């Protein structure tokens, strides 16, 4: 087990910063995910941990040990990649045994440990088979067994589920999470898939242009995104410009001006001047009639039935379009295009940024 410390790590390619001043600690036994869109620097950061790249600035520690100049094979890490990287003509058993043979482990111990690892990934029954004609999911399990059989201090995974179909991805991510908890192995996981990150992680670091935007638990990242980029990347949000005047307590509500209406609203934090509201589509409630809560008027523009929910685009009287996700598909009629509706924006639970939320 090992914690990993990034101490102001910066990695350049030419003059471009692929990783910009990464400064955080991954705790022992933690499942930590690097999440972000293509090109944000996830793989580069993972590769500096593995020792494939050397950062130009800052230091990396495993526990108290500075590992900047420790070669990859001495870092005691297990790795799983998107493309499995297994030997297609070796049996499953020999694939998993490979790293132990290279470490000159005794034959007897190799057998015990390989069978144990295969059992963990539920592949014992296929141990004598050749992987080349196995499914993607099975091949990825071999790669996983091969990574954990060496009992690494750290497990690194780079988009390990990207080549699998949607259903298998969900099954595999649950299995990986369970295995990681059973082994209590510090794991750093790279993905661009928000849902996957939310499902498996203890904490997530969201990256953008090489810079960490926020590090927090899945729930916190989703409910309280640090800025507009995170709010937009982690799910869907309606971003609405407004103004806000003072107020920071229940007894001293703020004066909000949004889409042509003025309301009083108790806020957790004081804001004043130009603000940006970030409102999740599932927090907006529709009603056919106006009420105190349903004060914003609009007209249904588009209706998309998605099974578990209906997605509406509502054209507001003030000109904006607002996306609404209604999960009450079993209990109410679906609104029709052109139907007038009144919106409860759930403003008191919305996230408010100063300025434009950058
Ligand atoms: P993806 O999800 O597409 O793999 P990523 O988030 O893992 O993206 P990186 O591969 O880490 O992003 O790339 C970060 C930035 O560094 C990108 O702008 C990329 O073009 C650049 N980059 C990555 N590897 C190299 C390299 N070997 N040489 C030059 N530039 C590179």
Model confidence pLDDT, tens digit, residues 88-130: 889 999 999 998 988 888 999 999 999 999 998 889 999 999 9
Same domain, 220 and 251: no
Instruction: Looking at the structure, tell me whether residues 243 and 197 fall in a common domain.
Output: no
Q: Are residues 226 and 242 in the same domain?
A: no
Q: Is 358 exposed, middle or buried (0-12, 13-18, 19+ CB in 10 A)?
A: exposed
Supply the CATH number for residue 273's domain.
2.40.50.140
Same domain membership, residue 115 and residue 181: yes
- pTM for the model stands at 0.91
The C-alpha atoms of residue 33 and residue 19 are separated, in whole angstroms, by 15
ipTM of the complex: 0.95
Ligand 1 atom 9 nearest Cα: 41
Its domain, for residue 273, covers 238-354
Q: Given pLDDT bands bounded at 50, 70 and 90, which one contains residue 247?
A: low
Task: Say which CATH number the domain at 175 has.
Answer: 3.40.50.300
More confident residue, 331 or 138: 138
Give the Cα separation of 358 and 354 in Å (integer): 9
Q: pLDDT over 90 for what percent of the chain?
A: 72
Q: Where does the pLDDT of residue 250 fall: very low under 50, low under 70, confident under 90, or very high at 90 and above?
A: low
Number of domains in the chain: 2
Instruction: Using most ligand atoms within 8 A of CB, pick from 15, 19, 41, 197 the residue to mutate for ligand 1.
Output: 41
**Lookup: tokens for 230:** 């995170």
Q: Which atom of ligand 1 is nearest to the CA of 44?
A: 11
The model's pLDDT over 339-353, given as tens digits with 9 standing for 90+, comes to 999 999 988 878 999
Regarding whether 342 and 221 lie in a shared domain, the answer is: no
Give the chain's mean pLDDT. Answer: 92
Confidence of residue 268 (pLDDT cuts 50, 70, 90): confident
- Alpha carbons 245 and 255: distance in angstroms, whole number: 5
Domain boundary among 233, 262, 284: 233
Shortest-distance Cα residue to atom 28 of ligand 1? 13
Q: Report pLDDT digits (tens) over 171-210.
A: 889 989 999 999 899 999 999 999 999 999 999 999 999 9
178 and 242 both lie in a single domain: no
């Amino acid at each position: 087990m090992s914690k990993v410390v990034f101490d102001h790590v910066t990695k350049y390619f030419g003059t471009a910063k692929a990783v910009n001043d990464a400064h955080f600690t991954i705790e022992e036994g933690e499942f930590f995910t690097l999440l972000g869109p293509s090109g944000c620097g996830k793989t580069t950061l993972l590769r500096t941990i593995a020792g494939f790249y050397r950062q130009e600035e800052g230091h990396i520690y495993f526990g108290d040990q500075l590992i900047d100049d420790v070669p990859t094979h001495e870092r005691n890490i297990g790795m799983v990649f998107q493309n499995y990287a297994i030997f297609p003509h070796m049996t499953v058993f020999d694939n998993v045994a490979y790293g132990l043979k290279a470490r000159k482990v005794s034959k007897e111990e190799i057998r015990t440990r390989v069978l144990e690892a295969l059992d963990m990934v539920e592949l014992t029954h296929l141990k004598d088979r050749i992987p080349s004609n196995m499914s993607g999911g099975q091949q990825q399990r071999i790669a996983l067994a091969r990574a954990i059989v060496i009992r690494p201090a750290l497990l690194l995974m780079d988009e390990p589920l990207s080549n699998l179909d949607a259903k298998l991805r969900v099954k595999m991510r649950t299995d990986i999470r369970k295995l990681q908890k059973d082994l209590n192995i510090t794991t750093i996981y790279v993905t661009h898939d928000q849902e996957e990150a939310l499902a498996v992680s203890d904490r997530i670091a969201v990256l953008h242009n090489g810079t960490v935007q926020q590090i927090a638990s899945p729930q916190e990242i989703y409910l309280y995104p640090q800025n507009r980029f995170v709010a937009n990347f982690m799910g869907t949000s309606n971003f609405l410009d407004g103004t806000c005047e003072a107020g920071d307590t229940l007894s001293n509500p703020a004066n909000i001006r949004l889409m042509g209406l003025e309301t009083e609203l108790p806020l957790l934090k004081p804001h004043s001047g130009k603000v940006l509201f970030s409102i999740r589509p599932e927090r907006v409630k529709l009603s056919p009639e106006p009420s105190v809560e349903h004060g914003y008027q609009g007209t249904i523009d588009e209706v998309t039935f998605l099974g578990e929910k209906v997605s509406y685009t509502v054209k507001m009287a003030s000109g904006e379009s607002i996306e609404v996700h209604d999960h009450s598909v079993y209990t109410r009629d679906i609104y029709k295009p052109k139907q007038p509706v009144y919106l409860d924006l759930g403003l008191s639970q919305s996230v408010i940024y100063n300025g434009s939320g950058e």
